[in-house]
Copies of this chain bind each other. A is one copy, B any other.
Amino acid sequence: MSFSTKGEYGVRLMVQLGRRYGRGPSSLAEIATDEDLPRPYLEQLVMSLRDAGLVISTRGSHGGYELSRPPDEIPMIAVLRVLEGPIAPMICATDESASAHEPTCDRTARCTVNFLWIRIRDAISTTLEGMTLADLVPERLAPIAGPILVERRPASLPDPALA
């Protein structure tokens, strides 16, 4: 049971964009360097994030990517659904609209087994729904201009002084 590096890299990408939020578009090359990740691979990931409306792209020179809205309005479940597909520990327990997949469940013991996957799915979904990108962005880089953003540490995040 594990997520792929798509999820890992994609989340790290989003965190970087979160730190840069309010500073206009950032180039992929910049982020790839900061996170030490292969830029061509990030391209694939960021394009799906763009298609999902989580980031906005600006083409041409001085272009790049930026969050489509503030980090605290981006639930992590949305990010991971884009990167990893629907939260579905098993086909018969997807969390997206394609619930019409039920005809596959005609096994004898399937109904109760299904119950297990649904429990797991709900546990993950609930956890993810309670987190936003802001929970993962520890230090916001100062914006170029504009009001100073108050560093609001969510109650769900442990005190950084302990780390």
> Which A residues fall within an 8 A CB radius of B?
1-3, 7-8, 11-12, 15-16, 19, 34-36, 76, 80, 84-85, 87-91, 107-113, 115-117, 119-120, 123-124, 126-128, 131, 135-138, 157-158, 163
What's the dominant secondary structure at chain A's contact region? Answer: helix
Q: Is the CB of A1 within 8 A of B137?
A: no
Q: Is the CB of B87 within 8 A of A1?
A: yes
Give min CB distance, A75 to chain B, whole Å.
12
Q: How many identical chains are in the complex?
A: 2
Q: Is the CB of A1 within 8 A of B12?
A: no
Q: Is the CB of B127 within 8 A of A119?
A: yes
A109 to B87, CA, bound (A): 24
- A-B contacts, 18 of them at CB < 8 A, read A1-B84, A1-B89, A2-B85, A2-B90, A3-B117, A7-B89, A8-B113, A11-B113, A11-B116, A15-B109, A15-B112, A16-B109, A34-B108, A76-B116, A112-B137, A115-B157, A123-B123, A123-B124
